Amino acid sequence: MIHIESLAALRAVVRDAVASRQAVRFVPTMGALHDGHAALIRAARADGGLVLVSVFVNPTQFGPNEDFARYPRTPGADAALATKAGADALWAPLVEDVYPAGPSARLSAGALGAVWEGAFRPGHFDGVATVVAKLLVASGADVLYLGEKDYQQTVVVRRLIRDLLLTTEVRVVPTVREPDGLALSSRNRYLSADDRRAAAAISRGLRACAKLAADGERRADALLVHLQDVIGGEPRVTVQYAGIADPDTLEPVTLLNAPARALVAAYVGATRLIDNILLVPPTP
């Protein structure tokens, strides 16, 4: 696996791939790689071409009181995991390479970035949109691999690509979970042993909600009460928001007449986790 830092080195690798007619398959991450990231890399590997993984903890997507400074950074382990999962190149740019003029030009994620996560993390998706656009332009990615774990991010990025007239294709990879259902996340390592056990209540609640929907409950408020009840059975977990959204517009759904997305953010101790699940009502 090739290690890349500078933009010049990135461009040379991409130029070689294009010259040999290889598609550039791009997996952007913030590092602290785990098996969820590995699933994205493996999906890219299976599709063939040049598998490019980036590790960049993007400062502009963190709020002033968020965990940017203490976000886990594990470069040695990241390289090992990326290699094992089948990456050809690992690009770890410096902040000054991605923001050469400082944090100036900034994209807006618009209304899609203002709801759900965006309501509690103002500016977060503007930072995501900005960095994804920069990384796509710099890498010339043909295909972008995103995790379903960050569902709203997939919706925001798809819209961004369309808005900017980019031609990058998006592939969304299903969420990788621990055996008890907890979605893998770089932030799970912040959890104490008790919090780690309690955190499984989030996915338990989502699964219970999906089952109720599959069994025919169409009222979003009833589905959400059930979700909150199951998660609320675990006192260490505090729900910040729980909602049911249209899968494309992210608008709140009141009656489940079509598949929708249940979205949750919750604190487990001081750690904020997000998760989501697809709700599919029975066909009439």
**What are the residue numbers of the active site?**
37
Residues of span 61-120 touching ligand AMP by CB under 6 A: none
Question: Which residue has tokens 């290699």?
Answer: 83
Structure tokens at 92: 């770890």
CB atoms within 10 A of CB 179: 6
Give the residue with the Cβ less far from ligand AMP, 187 or 218: 187
Q: Is 29 in the site for ligand AMP (CB under 6 A)?
A: yes
Q: Is 198 strand, coil or helix?
A: helix
Choose which of 37, 42, 134, 196 interacts with ligand AMP (CB under 6 A).
Answer: 37
Task: Mention every residue, 6+ apart, whose C-beta is less than 8 A from residue 46.
Answer: none
| CB-CB contact of 159 with 187 (8 Å) | no
Choose which of 30, 138, 155, 277 interacts with ligand AMP (CB under 6 A).
Answer: 30
Give the residue with the Cβ less far from ligand AMP, 147 or 243: 147
Residue 21 CB, shortest distance to ligand AMP, in Å, is 26
| Terminal alpha carbon distance of the chain | 51
Residues of span 117-176 touching ligand AMP by CB under 6 A: 146-147, 149-150, 173, 175-176
Residue 202 CB, shortest distance to ligand AMP, in Å, is 12
Distance (Å) of CA 221 to CA 211, 224, 262, 273: 15, 5, 12, 22
Q: Is 272 in the site for ligand AMP (CB under 6 A)?
A: no
Q: Is 170 strand, coil or helix?
A: strand
State the residues that interact with ligand AMP by CB under 6 A: 29-30, 36-37, 39-40, 146-147, 149-150, 173, 175-176, 183-186
